[in-house]
Structure 1
Amino acid sequence: MPIPASEPTTPPPSVTIDDPADPRLSDYRDLTDVALRRVREPQEGLYIAESAKVIARALAAGHHPRSVLVQEKWLADIGGLLSAAGVVDVPVYVVSDRVAEQVTGYAVHRGALAAMHRPALRSVSEVVAGARTVLVLEDIVDHTNVGAAFRGAAGLGADAVLVTPRCADPLYRRSIRVSMGTVFQVPWTRLPEWPEAREQVHAAGLHIAALALAEEAVTLDAFAASRPPGVALVLGTEGDGLSRRALEAADTVVTIPMAGGVDSLNVAAASAVALWALR
């Protein structure tokens, strides 16, 4: 993963920690407690980046770490990565495999974690300016699906992703990992509630296409054949699909024709199919 060019510097100094209860490791504690991390990370302005590849993507996107936790065998690699990015003012905590597992609550196989400062969210108008295809995720609460949707958005050419207020956090550790770090590659921000969200999307010149099962829906291939210049493709939560307010906000309801007695796809798979058709 390329890092922004800079003069190589001396890596930040490392500190070996043998006590899993050390307060300096508090940012990394109990990462398996999803409810706790959902509350704590946004409030403290932090998120956790896991693995050298993801940390590299975060640094390339201009994000800055508060600290790094690394296992001994990965120290040279992570030190070189931080040095290449010009990061010299953050502590690097070196721990054993045992301490890493006791602190985080799981076996850390990817070598390094970084507690990263969250960048301020940009406005909707800034994120979607000039966009041709935008993916909108409404109330998708599964972090795996959010990460997979971002990966599809990056790979299939979406210009931006917008997420609703109750959608799972794209910067949660699992979302980042499943996305392969593409949450740092695709511009994104949060929408307000409908119908204000509709006004902001329309102000950017985007046609709102809601992907849903409905009698009045047009097929995806028909919609793609005469697609508007700018499209905001809206997908809903895994169980109930799109909300009534999202459907009311839509300019067109679009459906993917299915076979074999299957009525719909997983939301991440559906978003990939729709983005490919609209490419």
Structure 2
Amino acid sequence: MHVIRINDLTDGRLGDFANLTDVALRRRTEPAGGLYIAESPKVISRALTAGHRPRAVLVLEQWLADLEPLLADVDVPVFVGDSDLLEGLTGFNLHRGALASMHRPELPPVAELLRDARRVVVLEDIVDHTNVGAIFRSVAGLGADAVLVTPRCADPLYRRSVRVSMGTVLQVPWTRLSGWPDGADELTSAGFHIAALALTDTAISLDEFAATAPDRVALVLGTEGDGLSNAALGAADTVITIPMMHGVDSLNVASASAVALYALRTELRGP
């Protein structure tokens, strides 16, 4: 690594870290520029472990020692500055100490992710980055094999998604579907039973479905507020719902994902 101590923000190589709180700007520039932002030494470590390549690193002086073992053999500029200066660049306080702009990995084909999977999660048009990150954390912790996101779903590699997931978006295999619900045909062809989590008159309880769940299940989760589209429900083999109490009809989509994935975890039924 090459440590560069900065006293102003005129270095053009700092552009990756400018205005990180502008969500609309980052949605436009990060995917198009082939980068994403990893925040904190822990997440940066997970990105490096996943084989992702850093383009530049921004770090507070007092956190530099924590990054040195991670980046000692990496050819990357490491910009070091004080808190006020770096906050002026990024738009927020770097209380997690460090940011890295990382080259985006190439997304794998859908068929590759489905080949050996038993549990996959499909995110239909979920727009909140916090929910996307939380779902990835549930997927990692509860043993699902992959995540498929629809064309209009929020970016799993957006800074907030990566942070909320505790870096698990860098561990869980995922890719973006080219179309939806047309993409459901690829799931069906691969032998997956499509289970849509929704409130409908024809839904069966999660308990009932989990008791005799098929070997390969694709759990489909819908956007905040409106839930799954009619087209997604039409493509589903089964609609399931989480039994609720005390007049509450549903959970936040990230919480619902955790409940459903726990009920459907494969070790309940063995190989």
TM-score by length of 2: 0.96
State the distance in 1 between where 2:153 and 2:191 align: 24
* Cross-structure match for 2:95: 109
Is 1:71 matched with 2:60?
yes
Contact 2:151–2:180, Cα closer than 8 Å, also in 1: no
2:227 to 219, 225, 241: 241
Q: Secondary structure at the match of 2:139?
A: helix
1:160 alignment partner, one of 142, 146, 153: 146
Which of 13, 18, 30 lines up with 1:29 in the alignment? 18
CA RMSD of aligned residues (A): 0.9
Preserved CA contact (<8 Å) 2:39 2:98:
yes
- Does the residue aligned with 1:134 lie in a helix, a strand or coil? strand
1:277 partnered with 2:267: no
Aligned residue runs from structure 1 range 183-202, under 5 A: 183-202=169-188
Q: Which amino acid aligns with 1:144?
A: T
Task: Look up the SS of the partner of 1:196 in the other structure.
Answer: coil
Structure 1 length-normalised TM: 0.93
- CA shift at 1:21, angstroms? 3.8
Distance 1:130 1:18 in 2: 51
- 1:90 is displaced (CA, Å) by 1.2
- Count how many residue pairs are aligned between Structure 1 and Structure 2: 265
Residues of 1 paired with 2:55 and 2:189: CA distance?
37
Matched residue SS, 1:271 = helix
2:210 aligns with one of 204, 215, 224? 224
1:122 aligns with 2:108: yes
Q: Which amino acid aligns with 1:133?
A: R
Deviation at 1:98, TM superposition (A): 1.2
Measured against aligned partners, the alpha-carbon deviations of 1:64-95 in whole angstroms (never above 9, x if no partner) come to 00011111111122121112xx41x2111111
| Cα shift readout 1:118-143 (whole Å, capped 9, x = no counterpart) | 00111111112211111111100000
**Percent sequence identity over matched residues?**
68
The SS at the match of 2:7 is coil
| Partner of residue 3, structure 2 | 14
Question: What is the distance in 1 between the residues matched to 2:154 and 2:231?
Answer: 19
Correspondence for 1:263 among 241, 249, 267 = 249
Structure 2: runs of 5 or more not aligned: 266-271
**Partners of 1:21 and 1:103 within 8 A in 2:** no
Q: Secondary structure at the match of 2:183?
A: helix
- Match of 2:154, SS state, is coil
Output the CA distance in 2 between the equivalents of 1:192 and 1:248: 19
Cα distance in 2 between the residues matched to 1:22 and 1:13: 15
Match of residue 44 from structure 1: 33
**C-alpha distance in 1, partners of 2:43/2:177?**
25
Question: 1:194, 1:249 within 8 Å by CA — same for their partners in 2?
Answer: no
> Which amino acid is 1:175 matched to?
S
Q: CA deviation at 1:252?
A: 0.6
